[in-house]
Amino acid sequence: MKHTVLFVLVFALFSCSEMEKNTNQDATITASSNAKKVVKEEKVVGIKGKDRSITSQAIRMETFTNIPDEYYGCGCSLYLTEQDKKADNFIYRDAGDIAMIVLNGKIHRMDYKGESNGITTYSNDSVEVKRVHTKAVESTEMEETMDVEGVLTITKGKDKLEKKYVGYCGC
């Protein structure tokens, strides 16, 4: 059954026509429900109010509401809760061979490293993210899409954060 769900999910991801990508590298991304603006991955400007963050040791995962154009198209959008899903408060977004997450006020853009035994891995020089779906069902709201639940494991150096998620994958 797991192989069937995985096959359907992979088929859906690759059968969709990919939306046109715009690689605007100067895109401003709003992190933590308009609480922090992050520009070009490195700078955090203007903390205004409370942020929505999950902390474990030295890793603070933050929600974000806007995504750059290159992350639109087929992929997975993950959230902490169903309420966050309705409000588009992302904790993770991928689009094929790239993924993004906000940790400690910094956007981490990662490259696809592979999939093995149901674990999908993205990483860069400083962080590794493993995504494992524990539940995947065909969406009743969107075509060619699976509603998913699972666990996101983030490793940064010696620190590790595991967090359950809800979301969707597809086109």
What does each of the 171 residues of the chain score in pLDDT, given as a tens digit?
444 444 334 334 334 433 333 333 333 333 333 333 332 333 332 222 334 445 556 899 999 999 999 999 999 999 999 999 999 999 999 999 999 999 999 999 999 999 999 999 999 999 999 999 999 999 998 999 999 999 999 999 999 999 999 999 999
As a whole number of angstroms, the distance between CA 147 and CA 168 comes to: 4
CA atoms within 13 A on the CB side of 107: 31
Q: Which domain holds residue 76?
A: 2-18+50-170
5 DSSP 8-state letter:
H
Q: Is 166 a domain residue?
A: yes
Q: Is 44 a domain residue?
A: no
Tell me the H-state helices in 50-132: 82-87
Q: Give the count of domains, the chain.
A: 1
Q: Is 87 a domain residue?
A: yes
Who contacts 15 (Cβ-Cβ below 8 Å, separation ≥6)? 144, 171
Q: Is 119 a domain residue?
A: yes
As a whole number of angstroms, the distance between CA 142 and CA 65 comes to: 20
Model-level pTM greater than 0.95? no
Question: How confident is the model at residue 54, as a pLDDT?
Answer: 57
Q: Is 13 a domain residue?
A: yes
Give the amino acid at 23. Answer: T
As a whole number of angstroms, the distance between CA 167 and CA 77 comes to: 6
The residue among 4, 11, 118 whose CA lies nearest residue 153 is 118
Q: Is 23 a domain residue?
A: no
Q: Is 26 a domain residue?
A: no
Question: How confident is the model at residue 63, as a pLDDT?
Answer: 96
